[in-house]
Structure 1
Amino acid sequence: MWEDSEFAPTSEVISILETQVDDMTAQAIAYTMEQLLSQGALDVYTQAITMKKSRHGILITVICPCDRQAICEQILFQETSTLGIRVRQQERQILQRELQEVTTEYGNARVKIAWRNGFCTVQPEYEDCAKLARSHNLPLSMIQESVKAAFQLPIKP
């Protein structure tokens, strides 16, 4: 397990959408981000920028699969004050990945295992760890460490 597969992609083409706004509330931007993520955006982030006439604004960047580009554009037009969206396709290198559930003394949580060319990373899933931390009234970092400790990489013969 976790060996490179000749059939697994190591790169993919994604769409990147960007728009600038200077007249929206933080709540409206947060709602837009939620809508984009719920409709298949891989990531959405914002950056504070200075626009023409020295106005403060926000740059909204959406990273999405190419087949989700149209729906993400529609959300940006419907939910923001933008008049235009810049679009580009870009190749990105990716790690092969899978989710696996582990059992800890605090409950079950998933870990994301990512690998490529003999390199492997293990990352506890935030939502699972946050739920356990809240239910046990413990620090998130303690739960995350417990989840990492519960995960065991298989040993190669």
Structure 2
Amino acid sequence: MASTRIDNGHGKDEMVHVQTNIDDMNPELCPYVGEKLMAAGAHDVYWIPIIMKKGRPGLLLNVLTRNSLLAAIETVIFEETTTLGLRYMKTDCKGLERYIEQVDTPWGAIAVKVGRHNGKVVQFSPEYADCEAAARNNGIPLKDVYEVARRSYVTE
């Protein structure tokens, strides 16, 4: 089985965790904002529902990025959200060595993301987009594609 190593980027530059509370933005914008942040170089983007002062519901936006990409991340956040300010926390990250491996299934090849620690496989997961495409193209349940792809990885 051929492997393609993925560079997770941790350790090459100081990492920064950027946060902001948002209480006046339509939450339907969150996926779009997340996609733009990932395209700008974010390593991770996630939203947490929170209760803000005066009991208002809000969202806590969290972005992990390299320090060298901070200006691009700030631009996306300030242009695409309603926030007025950001918090920064310098952070250290440790990631597994990551690889993409292809497995054969009855519906074609599926990419599997594999995580190794000290050379040992400790985590693997079929890629969602490949599994979704196979399920849609073949009229089968997505969970079935995932299961077959996982089994195919284990047996190869």
Match for residue 49 of structure 1? 50
Amino acid at match of 2:124: V
Q: Structure 1: which 5+ residue stretches go unaligned? A: 2-7
| Counterpart code for 1:37 | M
When normalised by structure 2's length, the TM-score is: 0.84
Structure 2: distance between partners of 1:118 and 1:37: 28
Q: C-alpha displacement at 1:58, in angstroms?
A: 0.9
3-state secondary structure, aligned to 2:92: strand
The aligned runs of 1:26-45 (5 Å cut-off) are 26-45=27-46
Q: Please give the per-residue CA displacement for 1:28-69, whole angstroms capped at 9, x wherever unaligned.
A: 223211211222212211111111222211111111222222
Aligned counterpart, 2:76: 75
Q: TM-score scaled by structure 1?
A: 0.83
Cα distance in 1 for partners of 2:66, 2:103 equals 29
Deviation at 1:142, TM superposition (A): 1.0
In structure 1, what residue type is equivalent to 2:126? Answer: P
The 5 Å alignment of 1:107-126 reads 107-120=108-121, 121-126=123-128
| Residue of 142, 146, 152 corresponding to 1:144 | 146
Deviation at 1:108, TM superposition (A): 1.0
1:29/1:134 Cα in 2 relative to 1: closer, same or farther (>3 Å)? same
C-alpha displacement at 1:26, in angstroms?
1.5
- How do 1:55-70 and structure 2 match up within 5 A? 55-70=56-71
* In structure 2, C-alpha distance between the alignment counterparts of 1:71 and 1:153, rounded to whole Å: 43
CA gap 1:15/1:153 in 2 versus in 1, 3 angstroms? farther
Distance 1:48 1:152, change over 3 A: closer
Task: Give the equivalent residue in structure 1 for 2:85.
Answer: 84
Code of the aligned partner of 2:137: S
Separation in structure 2 between the aligned mates of residue 152 and residue 54 of structure 1, nearest angstrom: 49
Three-state SS of the structure 2 residue aligned to 1:70 is helix
d(CA) in 1 for partners of 2:57, 2:151: 45
Q: Percent identity?
A: 33
